[in-house]
Amino acid sequence: MSPEIVPFEAGPPLELSRGVCHLVKEKKPDFSFYLFGTLVKTGLPALCVTRQYPDRVRREHSLRDIRVIWLSHTPGDDYHNPTALGVLTKAICKFIEESGGEAVVLIDGLEYIMVNNGFLQTLMFVEQVNEFVMQRKAIVILPVSPEALEEKELALLERNLEVVEAPSIKMDMETKQVSKLLDTYEGK
């Protein structure tokens, strides 16, 4: 197996290439956070950019020791205005560079960025991050809800990103969660 690929052990084999931005099409970013958490466990430096409150992200996804940038109009440390895409791009690129080019970044909230900046500005942001990542060995995970985009917009995003389609893995994860809940409920 090439050192450029990171394998995952959930259900059917899934591999994420380094130096690539991965577009994960899903309504909620559950699978994306699973992939991100799996990569964090391998020891890669990690950065999470999200619309969700940082303490909640750390608690709900067991990501205690990672940096979380909150997309918010509220001022504060690691709170970034969603309309300041240049500043956000620089923060992401600086994190990857300081990590020696090898890191994992989850950018959750692309739809929120689109609402605040329009699609073309958001596409330019994604392309800038993608171009930077291509020159490094970083992995970027970009969850997006296809229902939130027009067909043309989704096609433009997919054009230069690697699309991750993993419904069977997501279904397996959900089945395991339900089974775990049932076991707890039944007192096993």
Q: HEC profile for 73-84?
A: CCCCCCEECCCC
Hey, what are 17's tokens?
A: 């290439």
Question: Would you give the distance in Å from CA 47 to the centre of its chain?
Answer: 9
C-alpha distances in Å from residue 32, one per residue of 87, 100, 105, 127, 151: 24, 23, 11, 19, 21
pLDDT value at position 12?
A: 37
Q: What is the DSSP letter of 162?
A: E
pLDDT value at position 179?
A: 66
Residue 68, amino acid: V
State whether residue 158 is helix, strand or coil.
helix
Hey, what domains does the chain have and what are their CATH numbers?
15-185 (3.40.50.300)
In terms of Cβ atoms closer than 10 Å to its own Cβ (0-12, 13-18, 19+), residue 40 is buried
pTM: 0.81
User: In this predicted model, what pLDDT tens digit does every residue of 128-172 receive, in sequence order?
Assistant: 999 999 999 999 999 999 999 999 999 999 998 999 875 544 555
Residues of the chain with pLDDT under 50: 1-13, 168-169
pLDDT value at position 9?
A: 46
Antiparallel, parallel or unpaired: β 20-25 and 139-144: parallel
**Closest residue by Cα to residue 109 from 141, 137, 157, 131:** 141
Antiparallel, parallel or unpaired: β 14-17 and 104-107: unpaired
State whether residue 61 is helix, strand or coil.
coil
